[in-house]
Amino acid sequence: MSVATSADSALATLRALPGRFGLVITDHLMPGTTGSGLVRQMRAEHLWLPVLVLSGLAEAEAEYEGLDVSFRVKPFPPPELIELVQTLLEASGEQRGAA
């Protein structure tokens, strides 16, 4: 697991450690950009990587159209988050195994 404090540091980590991550979890709002800005940058280099976007702004979901992300509006129960993360990681592992 790795934690980034900005979109730039997240992208730098993903570039430095290709293939190490099975999932990116991001908030919609972040310093310097939005989650959709981060995902747009990621998609150019890491098309296979699943992304889970969490936001308190339901209307933000429209910004992710066509970016192939899972979007969830906060708050929601922790077991729901755990189940979703497990599902996305399993799917990521299956995709990498088929590649």
Range of the domain at 93: 7-98
Tokens at residue 11, please? 């992208």
> Is the separation of the CB atoms in 92 and 50 below 8 Å?
yes
Q: Is residue 33 part of a domain?
A: yes
| pTM for this predicted structure | 0.89
Whether residue 26 is contained in a domain is answered as yes
Q: Is 55 helix (H, G, I), strand (E, B) or coil?
A: strand
User: Would you state the pLDDT for residue 54?
Assistant: 97
What CATH number should be reported for the domain holding residue 50?
3.40.50.2300
How many structural domains is the chain composed of?
1
Give the pLDDT of residue 47.
65
- Write the CA distances from 44 to 5, 20, 67, 75, 85, integer angstroms: 21, 17, 11, 30, 23
Residue stretches of the chain with pLDDT short of 50 = none
